[in-house]
Structure 1
Amino acid sequence: MDSSTDIEPLWGLAEVCAFIGKSRNAVRDLIDSEPDVPLPVIGGRQPRWLAEQWTAWARKRATAPRRRPSSGAKGRQTRV
């Protein structure tokens, strides 16, 4: 088989999260924040080099410093 047609197995959200070491919410935030960026390893079979490229991008985005939340967004605090 030709190496240029080597196909990575189907990856779901759980596999992507485990591979890049981030939570499902962090990966979903990446997806939501960059809708124009193709996500080759989620929901389909794609060439390995494309999956590696996306993984490198996701790692870089996931480790970037976050902006401080507004004063109204302080996590999951609930009133008692």
Structure 2
Amino acid sequence: MKSTILRISPKSLISQQSKEQMNGSLVKRLAADMRARGYEVSQPISGVRREDGRIVISDGHHRVAAAIRAGIDLVPVDVQERGVD
């Protein structure tokens, strides 16, 4: 799989975790840190591009939820392209 780091709206990413699987206090702490310092670009979200072009989160669900809560417009996403060598 080919990998590319893109800056993407966290709201456009597709989560595979339900709200019940999320740690709300962790999301709140991360969001507070992001509001104070911005998103830590050295920690990209991991995602896989579907055939329809949308990106599914494979790692970083809490960071995405926190970025949305903090009002972060764009986050770095390490996007794996399926079927591309």
Structures share a fold, TM > 0.5?
no
Which one has a larger percent strand, Structure 1 or Structure 2?
2
Which of structures 1 and 2 has the larger relative contact order (alpha carbons within 8 angstroms, sep 6+)?
Answer: 2
TM-score between both structures, scaled by the size of structure 2: 0.25
Which one has a larger percent helix, Structure 1 or Structure 2?
1
Computing the radius of gyration from Cα coordinates, the structure with the larger value is 1
